[in-house]
C-alpha cells in the first residue's frame, strides 16, 4: 500500500476533518474514499463517459417507469423427442 503526504492550509484541513467527523469516519478513510471517487471519474472520462455520470448512478427508480417492456405471449413449442 502506498502512502501520500499532502501539505494543505489549516482552513482546508479543518473542512476535511469536519466532513469526515460528520460521516463518522476517520479522516484517512474519508480522504481515501474521495480520492477513489475522483480516480473513477477520471478513468470514466478517459473512456468516454460524460462528466458527472457517477452522481447519476442509481438516480432512476423502477417507479419512474423504467421497468421491463411488455412481453408478447409465448408461442407453443413442440417437445423434444430425445431417443438415446
For the stretch 54-81, pLDDT in tens is: 888 777 776 766 777 788 888 888 888 8
Render pLDDT for 19-58 as a digit per residue (tens, 0 to 9).
999 999 999 999 999 999 999 999 999 999 888 888 887 7
76: cell is 407453443
Please tell me the distance from the alpha carbon of residue 30 to that of residue 34, in angstroms, as a whole number.
Answer: 6
Whether the predicted model's global pTM rises above the 0.85 cut: no
φ, ψ at 69 (rounded to 5°): -70, 160
Largest CA distance in the chain: 81
Contact 16, 31 (CB under 8 A): yes
Please tell me the distance from the alpha carbon of residue 52 to that of residue 78, in angstroms, as a whole number.
Answer: 51
Amino acid at each position: 500500500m502506498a502512502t501520500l503526504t499532502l501539505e494543505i492550509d489549516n482552513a482546508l484541513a479543518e473542512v476535511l476533518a469536519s466532513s469526515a467527523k460528520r460521516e463518522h469516519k476517520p479522516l484517512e478513510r474519508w480522504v481515501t474514499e474521495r480520492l477513489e471517487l475522483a480516480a473513477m471519474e477520471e478513468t470514466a472520462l478517459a473512456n468516454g463517459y460524460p462528466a458527472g455520470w457517477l452522481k447519476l448512478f442509481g438516480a432512476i427508480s423502477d417507479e419512474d417507469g423504467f421497468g421491463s417492456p411488455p412481453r408478447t405471449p409465448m408461442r407453443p413449442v413442440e417437445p423434444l423427442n430425445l431417443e438415446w
